[in-house]
């Protein structure tokens, strides 16, 4: 086989070789040349087709997604049952908005008349469905409110924005206008997710591109890796979109954002591992096919184990009672599957097509003699120095790092993960939040978002008595079929007694023997006081009106938080058990997986502890959703264990040839660069979630990004290598490798 002595590459396989060459005889077991060219070409074309079809779906995700919290509750929750019955009591499925008008001076009849005209004018906005309520002045005379139905089938965010602008333009000067209530907060949430297709994806890809250019100092290689990630995301999005369209999966803006970041980060990590193996292979193989086969064999097991671990951890979310959690598992798992497929097929095909030119201007040379002289381990650079440091003081290093991590983990006691008010879900300016504050200053805080109670007709009087006796309830009404407003007030004197003089007593609307009561709470619907009132009512109803079910905004938040806490306590132990089992199968050991899991859990504890201190002391966040620790755990353990897998599979490979302690040093020196690059990429991609002004995603972005960096630079660099080196060959117990002696290292 003819070779170029300058670069050690064959004329038939290196595209930079200018002189023609006769076709060499294929190696034994190697496919014919036409097949070696055809297979990568077909794979590249298939992925281009998938990207071409899936790409346009980036702007269509909102067509199949939902951000309605009630739709994600378990079917057994009271709030879910009440929501399912509401359609029977009302012909409208509109989402209520509350228009709030606030003035520094008392509002007289003239001003109230102008507000009625402004409301009627703005009511012509497309998407405002049904009849608006009359203007209701506050007792102090400084404010007024009106209830405005927004059609649920419309673009709620656009309708609320247009209605708010029209109302603000029509009211007299000196009167502030806010649009709040459920529709207002829904509009805020939808507006916060508007940048998910463009801004989030752009920031994540730009961060990855910058890191790849700095790492490789190459032009083609970063493009090849980014194409691998982006094409995987297109294929995953295409699959998830149609599954959501067919009703197989539930998709939300939150799930969509996590899918984007997870696929880009994971696919890039897997690509970096393959590129590292391919660069190594090019030094000992003079043709691209041989290097591709060798790189694929070396990268296959760690990538498969890594992806399998992440998928197993994500699928554990299917045990969740909350559909927002349980559906994330399969959605994200689909993304990981395509990330693995892309790294196994598209990237090897692209690198095969470019050969050594992919690394230009730092193309690896064919130098098997130099590799043989190095015994496969680099002798210069940062990571060999780190390996020698671990060799000198292993016990001191792992004990010191453990103490530091434990100290950081103490901050987890400061984490407030009991839930946050709906008004604090969106960061930055919020008209709905400002409107709720103004509403609470002049009206009962729960106006527009009442607690909804469905109760059997025979127990209605007992339920009404319990509501009126509760100090947290400001007013009670009953759904009525013969009342113009659809509801009739209820007092101790009876139904309709609080209406204007001469108002006939309204009859409650009865559906299958049940009636619907509405309780206006004195506190804001998303406040702790409102939650306490609803819990008190449920406890009272359990004794006095056992058939009563409590729903509404406050009840939905309570049921969501309770389900999140249940999920956290159930899923975390299951994830640990599943990942430990996978590591045992991968490493053929019991001791090593247990130690790896312990180090990863310690790293997670430190990440949560530091995050709690940062959230409370620097960002002044109002708290955290109960799902934040669960999601942080799943991502940090499932993804953080990746770097231990990358390291320990290489350590085991080297230990089989050189003994355990030498294998630790070699594995650390060889994988140090690629794992550090992968950690930086994954941290940067998750940090990109912070561009979306959603409290949950900002907190998750910090926790995962910080935790990944902690895993990359402390756990995988110092703690795991030092601990493994100190334990020695016993780390592989009970496999045969635990009994294999190394005359040089293990005898010391």
Q: Kindly write down the DSSP assignment for every residue of 379-420, as one continuous string.
A: -SSHHHHHHHHHHHSHHHHHHHHHHHHHHHHGGGGG---S--
pLDDT of residue 15: 41
Residues 564-575, mean pLDDT to the nearest whole number:
89
Tokens 């006691």, located at residue: 413
Domain 34-60+196-374: give its CATH code. Answer: 1.20.1640.10
> Cα–Cα distance between 414 and 615 in angstroms, integer?
10
Q: Which of 14-23, 153-162, 193-202 has the lowest mean pLDDT?
A: 14-23
Q: Where are the alpha helices (DSSP H) in 193-252?
A: 201-216, 220-245
Q: Class of the 388-428+583-748 domain?
A: mainly alpha
On whether the CB atoms of residues 649 and 450 are closer than 8 A, the answer is no
Q: Which of 89-98, 123-132, 253-262, 379-388 has the lowest mean pLDDT?
A: 89-98
Q: Which of 317-326, 371-380, 652-661, 688-697 has the lowest mean pLDDT?
A: 371-380
On whether the CB atoms of residues 336 and 311 are closer than 8 A, the answer is yes
Say which DSSP state 566 is in.
H
Residues 280-297, mean pLDDT to the nearest whole number:
88
Q: Is the pTM of this model over 0.85?
A: no
- Given a cut of 60, whether residue 64 has pLDDT beyond it is yes
- Topology of the domain covering 88-192: Alpha-Beta Plaits (3.30.70)
On whether the CB atoms of residues 676 and 381 are closer than 8 A, the answer is no
- Given a cut of 90, whether residue 343 has pLDDT beyond it is yes
First to last CA, the chain: 46
Say which DSSP state 512 is in.
T
Length of the chain: 748
pLDDT of residue 142: 92
On whether the CB atoms of residues 465 and 544 are closer than 8 A, the answer is yes
Q: Which two tokens stand for residue 155?
A: 């673009």
Per-residue model confidence as pLDDT tens digits over 650-688? 888 888 888 889 889 988 988 888 888 888 988 998 898
Is residue 503 classed exposed, middle or buried when 0-12, 13-18 and 19+ CB atoms within 10 A define those classes? middle
Q: Which two tokens stand for residue 619?
A: 């960002």
Tokens 């038939």, located at residue: 12
Helix, strand, or coil (residue 653): helix
On whether the CB atoms of residues 621 and 696 are closer than 8 A, the answer is no
> Cα–Cα distance between 640 and 679 in angstroms, integer?
9
Q: Hey, which residues does 95 pair with through a beta bridge?
A: 150
**Cα of 119 vs its chain's centroid, Å:** 40
DSSP 708-720: HHHIIIIIIIIIH
Is residue 361 classed exposed, middle or buried when 0-12, 13-18 and 19+ CB atoms within 10 A define those classes? exposed
Q: Which of 66-75, 341-350, 526-535 has the lowest mean pLDDT?
A: 66-75
Q: Which residues contact 581 (CB under 8 A, 6 or more apart)?
A: none
């Amino acid at each position: 086989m003819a070779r170029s002595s300058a670069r050690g590459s064959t004329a038939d396989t290196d595209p930079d070789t200018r002189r023609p060459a006769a076709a060499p005889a294929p190696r034994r077991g190697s496919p014919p040349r036409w097949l070696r060219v055809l297979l990568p070409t077909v794979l590249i074309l298939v992925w281009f087709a998938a990207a071409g079809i899936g790409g346009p779906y980036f702007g269509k995700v909102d067509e199949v997604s939902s951000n309605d919290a009630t739709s994600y509750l378990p079917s057994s929750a009271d709030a879910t049952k009440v929501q399912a019955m509401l359609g029977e009591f009302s012909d409208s499925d509109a989402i209520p908005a509350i228009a709030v008008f606030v003035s520094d001076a008392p509002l007289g009849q003239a001003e109230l008349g102008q507000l009625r005209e402004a409301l009627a004018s703005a009511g012509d906005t497309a998407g405002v469905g049904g009849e608006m309520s009359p203007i209701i002045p506050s007792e102090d005379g400084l404010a007024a409110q009106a209830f405005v139905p927004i059609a649920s089938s419309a673009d709620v965010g656009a309708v609320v924005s247009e209605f708010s602008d029209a109302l603000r333009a029509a009211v007299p000067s000196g009167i502030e206008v806010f649009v709040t209530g459920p529709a207002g907060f829904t509009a805020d949430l939808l507006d916060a997710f508007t940048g998910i297709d463009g801004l989030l994806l752009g920031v994540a890809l730009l961060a990855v591109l910058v890191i790849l250019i700095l790492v490789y100092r190459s032009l083609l290689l970063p493009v090849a890796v980014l194409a691998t990630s982006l094409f995987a995301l297109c294929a995953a999005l295409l699959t998830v979109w149609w599954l959501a369209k067919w009703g197989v999966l539930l998709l939300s803006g939150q799930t969509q954002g996590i899918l984007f970041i997870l696929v880009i980060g994971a696919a890039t990590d897997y690509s970096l591992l393959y590129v590292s193996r391919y660069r190594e292979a090019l030094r000992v193989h003079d043709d691209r096919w041989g290097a591709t086969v060798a790189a694929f064999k070396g990268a296959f097991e760690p990538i498969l184990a890594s992806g399998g671990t992440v998928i197993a951890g994500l699928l554990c979310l299917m045990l969740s009672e909350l559909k927002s959690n349980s559906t994330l598992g399969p959605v994200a798992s689909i993304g990981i599957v395509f990330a693995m497929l892309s790294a196994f097929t598209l990237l090897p095909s692209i690198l095969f097509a470019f050969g050594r030119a992919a690394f230009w201007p730092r193309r690896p040379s064919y130098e098997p003699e130099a590799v043989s002289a190095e015994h496969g381990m680099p002798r210069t650079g940062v990571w060999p120095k780190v390996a020698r440091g671990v060799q000198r003081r292993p016990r001191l290093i792992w004990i010191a790092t453990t103490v530091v991590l434990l100290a950081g983990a103490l901050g987890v006691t400061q984490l407030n993960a009991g839930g946050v008010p709906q008004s604090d879900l969106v960061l930055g300016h919020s008209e709905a939040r400002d409107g709720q504050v103004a509403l609470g200053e002049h009206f009962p805080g729960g106006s527009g978002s009442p607690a909804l109670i469905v109760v059997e007709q025979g127990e209605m009087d007992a339920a009404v008595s319990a509501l009126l006796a509760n100090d947290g309830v400001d007013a009670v009404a009953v759904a009525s079929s013969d009342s113009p407003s659809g509801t009739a007030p209820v007092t101790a004197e009876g139904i309709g007694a609080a209406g204007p003089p001469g108002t006939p007593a309204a009859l409650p609307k009865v559906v299958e023997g049940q009636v619907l009561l509405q309780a206006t709470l004195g506190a804001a619907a998303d406040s702790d006081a409102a939650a306490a009132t609803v819990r008190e009512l449920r406890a009272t109803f359990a004794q006095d009106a056992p058939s009563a079910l409590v729903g509404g905004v406050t009840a939905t938040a309570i049921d969501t938080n309770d389900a999140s806490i249940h999920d956290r306590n159930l899923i975390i132990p299951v994830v640990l058990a599943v990942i430990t089992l996978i590591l045992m199968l991968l490493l053929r050991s019991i001791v090593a997986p247990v130690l790896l899991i312990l180090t990863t859990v310690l790293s997670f504890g430190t990440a949560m502890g530091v995050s709690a201190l940062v959230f409370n002391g620097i960002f002044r966040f109002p708290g955290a959703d109960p799902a934040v620790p669960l999601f942080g755990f799943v991502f940090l353990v499932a993804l953080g264990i990746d770097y231990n897998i990358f390291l320990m599979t290489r350590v085991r490979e080297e230990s089989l040839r050189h003994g355990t302690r030498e294998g630790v040093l070699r594995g650390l020196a060889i994988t140090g660069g690629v794992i550090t690059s992968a950690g930086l990429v994954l941290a940067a991609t998750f940090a990109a979630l912070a561009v979306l002004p959603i409290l949950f995603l900002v907190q998750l972005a910090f926790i995962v990004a910080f935790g990944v960096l902690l895993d990359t630079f402390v756990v995988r660099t110092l703690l795991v290598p030092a601990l493994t080196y100190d334990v020695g060959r016993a780390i592989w117990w009970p496999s045969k490798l635990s009994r294999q002696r190394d005359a040089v290292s293990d005898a010391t």
